[in-house]
Amino acid sequence: MHQEKPGSPKSPRYSGQSNSPRADAEAAAAAIFAPRIFLLDPDPLTRALLVDYLRSKGFDVVAAMDMEASPPPADVLILARDGMGPRADRPKWLSEKPEIPTIVLDRSHVFPGRAAALGFEPDARLALPIQPRKLVATIRRVLSLARIESADPREASVRVYRFSGWTLHCHERRLESRDGKLILLDKREFEVLRAFLTFPRQLLTRRQLIAIVWGADTDVENRTLDRPVTRLRRHLGDDVKFPVLLKTVVGVGYRLDVEVEKSL
């Protein structure tokens, strides 16, 4: 399978040197945490355009033109196809829905007014040509939903979280310090903190946090997160400028860098 390796300066994982320490830090964070997209498109023109655009938006993109082999490890699979034959004619790895979030892009001139049968339900299905912003928004939405769905089903039954000397009592939305100090969290503070405690030591992007707390289909600005995150840092005694517990990954999101114990 011919693949276009992400090696140009447009790929965040392979960005070059910078004269700015801040730019270097942001580039390093992007290189580590950029979501990887596997783009499968037989058309060289649209494939090149999509690769360039998605890389410019901070995604790490691996592209291919055929389906001979199963895709490499990725966070999202995008299939741009002129049409798919019966399931028996497809490669084995595409005989059912892939395990990663999958977006299908249909070319309307091939199947005008209808979409070709897939044999599985993708996470999203869009028609080409497509507005680039809509595609990026769709990618971010399916990434957020995938992170939410990856949570242990038992998480909803957790009553108490313990971390770094603090205890969160979920039913009362009450945060208790090691010396017995009690803080009553408002609804958003509680939901944001619980999201971090659900995925300890894992990066949560701003869009993922918004999807978890406000809902995946809710139109909420990224800056809406600033207030509950800032207040949580103050509650936890975390330095707002140099936090130790609730860390900022510049340009990406946040990570609660502690071990967490959970009680049902």
Q: DSSP assignment of 79-112, as one string?
A: EEES----GGGS-GGGSS--SS-EEEEEETTTST
Q: Which residue has the higher pLDDT, 7 or 204?
A: 204
Residue 32 pLDDT more than 90? Answer: no
150-164 residue pLDDT tens: 666 677 789 999 999
Instruction: State the pTM of this model.
Output: 0.54
Could you give the domains of the chain?
Answer: 3-149 (3.40.50.2300), 153-263 (1.10.10.10)
In eight-state DSSP terms, residue 134 is H
Q: Which residue has the higher pLDDT, 89 or 102?
A: 102
